[in-house]
């Protein structure tokens, strides 16, 4: 029913977490980012930003033509609305979830992404840049830790807000963060890690890209770095 255009990265894992929790039927379409699949014209047609994940729902609720959705946060809102799961229907509960989902999309994801870039991928190690993003990631971990001090999950019950944040905490060592410094975050992290759906989601990631834990190859780095407007030109 759902085609998931996917590669096992933090943003990709978010959607598999949801699909495995709900049991919604789906088919993985691998998008090999290191090989440049994200810039094939047929992929750009459903993902104008040249990024995965993307879904195509072949059986939308309105019974019409297939719907494609890009941006992981929006994909999760779409799937939550489709299934009635992991996003409360009432206004208070719904916006409690959505504000933390947006916090991840605008803060934790991009900042931890820059952290990875300058600490791991940049050919030149720039202390100012590394320090800036390690500190900002640390601040965001502190925000999440405080939020989790008096509730099991970010918005009370397990929701799409947790699913967007969890994959970005998985690489905490690579982000120069110690979970021991954030006891509430650690407890939350371990609870999600132990969910059967989470275990299955990360197994699927290993099947799709058995080299996911290896350093990015030099060829892949060439594809992924220095992109300009030229990559999305017709
Ligand atoms: N805000 C987007 C970000 C998606 C994103 O950056 N995806 C990365 C992998 S995590 C990607 O497709 N990268 C391909 C590239 O950099 O060329 C989302 O959450 O869906």
Smallest CA separation from ligand 1 atom 1, residue? 71
pTM score of the predicted model: 0.97
Q: What is the pLDDT of residue 216?
A: 84
- The answer, yes or no, to whether any atom of ligand 1 lies below 6 A from the CB of 94, is no
Nearest atom within ligand 1 for CA of residue 51: 12
The ranges of the chain with pLDDT < 70 are none
55 phi/psi in degrees, rounded to 5: -120, 155
Question: What separation in Å is there between the alpha carbon of 70 and the centre of ligand 1?
Answer: 10
Q: What is the pLDDT of residue 131?
A: 98
Choose among 77, 79, 2: nearest CA to 46.
2
Residue 33 near ligand 1, beta carbon < 6 Å: yes
What pLDDT shows up at residue 17? 98
Nearest to 11 by CA among 153, 171, 123, 191: 171
Whether 9 is in the pocket of ligand 1, judged by its Cβ within 6 Å, is yes
Q: Identify the pLDDT of residue 213.
A: 81
Predicted local confidence at residue 81, as pLDDT: 98
Q: Whose CA is nearest to atom 11 of ligand 1?
A: 51
**Residue 47 in contact with ligand 1 by CB distance below 6 A:** no
Is the shortest distance between the CB of 11 and ligand 1 below 6 Å?
Answer: yes
- pLDDT tens digits, one per residue of 41-81: 999 999 999 999 999 999 999 999 999 999 999 999 999 99
């Amino acid at each position: 029913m759902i085609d998931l255009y996917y590669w096992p990265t933090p943003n990709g894992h978010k959607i598999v977490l949801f699909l495995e929790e709900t049991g919604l039927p789906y088919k993985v379409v691998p998008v090999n980012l290191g090989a440049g699949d994200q810039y094939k014209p047929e992929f750009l047609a459903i993902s104008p930003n040249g990024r995965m994940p993307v879904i195509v729902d072949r059986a939308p609720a309105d019974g019409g033509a297939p719907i494609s959705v890009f941006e992981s946060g929006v994909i999760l809102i779409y799937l939550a609305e489709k299934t009635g799961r992991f996003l409360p229907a009432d206004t208070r509960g719904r916006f409690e979830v959505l504000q933390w989902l947006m916090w991840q999309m605008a803060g934790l994801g991009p900042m931890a992404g820059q952290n990875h870039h300058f600490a791991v991928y940049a050919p030149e190690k720039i202390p100012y840049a590394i320090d800036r993003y390690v500190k900002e990631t640390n601040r965001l971990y502190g925000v999440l830790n405080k939020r989790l001090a008096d509730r099991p999950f970010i918005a009370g019950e397990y929701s799409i807000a947790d699913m967007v944040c969890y994959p970005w905490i998985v690489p905490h060592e690579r982000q120069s963060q110690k979970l021991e410094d954030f006891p509430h975050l650690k407890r939350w992290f371990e609870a999600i890690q132990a969910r059967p759906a989470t275990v299955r989601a990360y197994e699927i990631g290993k099947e799709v890209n058995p080299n996911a834990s290896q350093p990015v190859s030099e060829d892949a780095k060439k594809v992924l770095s220095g992109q300009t407007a030229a990559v999305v030109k017709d």
